[in-house]
Structure 1
């Protein structure tokens, strides 16, 4: 059964679909043009895969944190497509997505949150399953929490934007920094597939976005009110 992932949380737009031979994905650098290009690029991607939305059994989307506009676009498109097909959705943390992309076991994820702040979390993988060591938060780079132990891989553009502050704070904890990693649909789908397989996807109207500055997860009716 093919499932689709739509990743719009950054200036990189990407899609992914699982096939019998593995996950197929495509990615474009679109800047702030997600609202203009996401649907036509998605149609082109589906055509390339020889599929239509009638073939898709569920949709994964980035639940945040990230660009408010990008997240809303991704969630809105996901909801519209899922409503039309009456298929489930799964939201995946962008911070966990880049942890998955690293291939590491102990990861500190850090994304630029603008306003001289970062989105931050820490994870560890055991037997193929991720455990959250530090819950996602937004803070100044010099104030990020210290994870227990050492041997971490640092991932995300926060490590390039705030290199000096994060190195001073976390340098003794981190062995490798991969600031080039960004949220991608391939990892988003990889993380969502077990939830789909377990029948634990959610109805489209229950899709949530996590806005850490608001410290809440907003559902559809709450986003309309804001």
Structure 2
């Protein structure tokens, strides 16, 4: 099975290519240039492996939460390429992809939502699959959910910004911290594979995940924040 995976939900653009049992990936700090470089980079990435989109079995992408613009870019590119090649498209929740990337069984995924907020979800792995997300939502750092038990792994780019707040909130419940830029395209490909194998291609599996309707402060709100 050959699957192209992509993620543009952060300032990095990540591409992955599963070719049977092998996996290849690239990670580029794109900043605000995702829309300009993603298609040329995909074409080059496929060409480097002597492939075109017609050779793929499916395309998987990070459907959020994350950067509003980045999610829309990934969704649009995946749909466009998938439609052109007549292959299925599967979206994977980025919080779940982080949990899988951690390699742990009890995971709290946190993504910087900007505007002083955090995208949050907790997962427990049962066998080979994760539970339904717990407390999935967007929160202020001082309003994060209370979780039970200890032995949790905390993963995601929100740690860099809110490390102290999270340490104060969870205390000894956190056993491991995994922060910094984290590439999740291999996990996106892995989590999409069962849907592809079982031919489950419902539209809900490719819809973007925003978790909030408000994606930016108004001019008045920015002025008020700057005055604080």
CA RMSD of aligned residues (A): 1.7
List per-residue Cα deviations over 1:138-167 (Å, max 9, x = no partner).
010111112221100000111120112111
Over 3 Å counting, the alpha-carbon distance change for 1:3 and 1:149 in structure 2 is same
TM-score, scaled to structure 1: 0.89
Aligned pairs, how many? 214
Alpha-carbon separation, structure 1, partners of 2:134 and 2:207:
20
User: What secondary structure is seen at the aligned counterpart in 1 of 2:169?
Assistant: helix
The residue that corresponds to 1:71 in the other structure is 71
1:220 is aligned to none
Distance 1:48 1:198, change over 3 A: same
Cα distance change of structure 1 residues 34 and 28 upon mapping to structure 2, 3 Å threshold: same
Shift of 1:133: 4.6
Distance in 2 of aligned mates of 1:214 and 1:161: 22
Q: Give the structure 1 partner of residue 210 of structure 2.
A: 211
* 2:141 match: 141
List aligned pairs for 1:1-226, cutoff 5 A. Answer: 1-202=1-202, 207-214=206-213
- The offset of 1:65, in angstroms, is 0.4
Give 1:214 deviation, angstroms.
2.1
- Give the ranges of 4+ consecutive aligned residues of structure 1 lying more than 4 Å apart after TM superposition: none
User: TM-score, normalising length from structure 2?
Assistant: 0.89
**Which moved further from structure 2: 52-61 or 176-185?**
176-185
Residue 51 of structure 1: CA displacement? 0.6
Q: CA deviation at 1:28?
A: 1.1
1:136 Cα deviation after fit: 1.8
1:9, 1:183 within 8 Å by CA — same for their partners in 2? no
Q: Which moved more, 1:177-186 or 1:27-36?
A: 177-186
Gaps of 5+ in 1: 216-226
Structure 2 Cα separation of the partners of residues 158 and 2 of structure 1? 32
Asked if the contact 1:7–1:185 (Cα under 8 Å) also holds between the matched residues in 2, the reply is yes
Rounded Cα–Cα distance in structure 2 between residues aligned with 1:15 and 1:206: 19
* Alpha-carbon separation, structure 2, partners of 1:165 and 1:86: 47
- Residue of structure 1 equivalent to 2:218: none
Alignment gaps of 5+ in structure 2: 215-228
**Cα distance change, pair 169–206 in 1 and its aligned pair in 2 (3 A):** closer
1:201: Cα distance to partner? 2.5
Q: Which moved more, 1:91-100 or 1:126-135?
A: 126-135
Equivalent position SS for 1:169 = helix
Which whole-Å CA distance do the structure 1 matches of 2:123 and 2:117 have between them? 20
